[in-house]
Copies of this chain bind each other. A is one copy, B any other.
Amino acid sequence: MKTAEIPRPTLERLPLYYRSLSLWREQGIITVSSVDIGRDVGVNVVQVRKDLAYFGEFGRPGVGYNVEYLMDELGKLMGFTTETKAVLIGAGRLGTAVVSYGGFKRYSVKIAAMFDTDKEKIGTEVSDVPILDMAYLPQFLGENEIELGIITVPSLAAQEVADILTANDIKAIWNFAPVSLQVPEEIKVRNEDLAVGLATLCYFLNKEKKDAP
C-alpha cells in the first residue's frame, strides 16, 4: 500500500467519502455503490472508483462497497484512528467557531487547550476546552506532545505564534489567519483561506452578468 503516492486531489476527496460513509453507517446501511457515494459528495462515479482503487480493490461489481470495511480501511490509511493532540491559539469569534466544529472527534483530533492573551477569557472554557494564558504556551507544548497547532489569531500576530509553535516541536499548522506563514520546510502548513471561496463566487457572479444578454 503506497499511501505516499496518493495524488493531492484524491487526498482532498477522501475525507468527503469518509464522512459520507460515516453518515450511512449511522443509518445502519451495510453496502453502498460508487454511484451512491458520488451523488452524495458531488463527484462523478468514474472518479470515485478511481480514487478508491488507490486503496486496493474494495468494491465488488453488482454488490458495492461494504460501508464498515471501507470506512475502517480509509480511516487507518489516513491516520484517523491515531489520536492527534492539538492546541488552538486565538480564542476570538473564529477560534471559538473552529473549536466548536463537530468533526474533530471523527478524525481522532483532541484539542488539549486554547490560548489567548485576553485576561477575561483566560480560565474559562469553550466546548469543554480550557482557555489558557498565551504566556504558558511554550511550556504547555513541551509537556504535552502536541503535534498540531491551530492558528486563529489576527493576521499581524500569526507569524509570531507560528514561530513559537515551530520552536516547540509542533509538526503541522492549520492556519486560519489570512497571511502566508514562513516556517521551516519540514512543517506542514494548511491554510484555510476564506478569500479563495469568496473570490471564486464573485468571479462566477460577475461572469454571469457579463454573459447575460
Complex CA–CA separation, A11 to B195 (angstroms): 12
Is A135 in the interface zone, CB < 8 Å from B?
Answer: no
Select one of B98, B102, B201, B210 contacting A174, CB under 8 A: B201
**Stretch from A56-64, A76-84, A112-120, A158-166 that touches the partner:** A76-84
B16 touches A198 (CB 8 A): no
Chain A 170-213, CB-CB to B under 8 Å as 1, else 0, gives 01101000101000000010101111111111111111111100
Minimum CB distance partner of A208 in chain B: B171
One of B11, B20, B84, B195 near A16 (C-beta < 8 A):
B195
Question: Are the CB atoms of B19 and A178 closer together than 8 Å?
Answer: yes
A174 to B16, CA, bound (A): 17
Q: Interface majority SS on A: helix, strand, loop or mixed?
A: helix
A65 within 8 A of B: no
Total interface residues on A, CB under 8 Å, equals 61
Knowing A94-B97, A204-B172, A207-B79, the reply to whether A199 touches B4 (Cβ < 8 A) is no
Whether, in the assembled complex, A107 has its beta carbon less than 8 Å from a beta carbon of chain B, the answer is yes
B205-A79 in contact (CB<8A): yes
* Residue numbers in B under 8 Å from A190 (CB-CB): 197, 200-201
Nearest Cβ in chain B — how far from A12, in angstroms? 5
Residue A130, interface by CB 8 Å: no
Assess the A12–B200 pair: CB atoms within 8 A: yes
- The answer to whether B103 and A11 touch across the interface, beta carbons within 8 angstroms, is no
Is the pair B93, A205 in contact by a Cβ cutoff of 8 Å?
no
A residues neighboring B (CB under 8 Å): 3-4, 11-12, 14-16, 18-20, 40-42, 78-80, 82, 84, 93-94, 96-98, 100-104, 106-109, 147-148, 171-172, 174, 178, 180, 188, 190, 192-211
List 14 extra interface pairs beyond A79-B203, A79-B205, A94-B100, CB under 8 A. Answer: A3-B210, A15-B195, A15-B199, A15-B200, A40-B180, A78-B202, A78-B203, A79-B209, A82-B202, A102-B178, A106-B195, A171-B208, A172-B204, A192-B192
Give the top 3 A-B pairs by smallest Cβ distance, nearest first: A79-B206, A15-B199, A97-B97
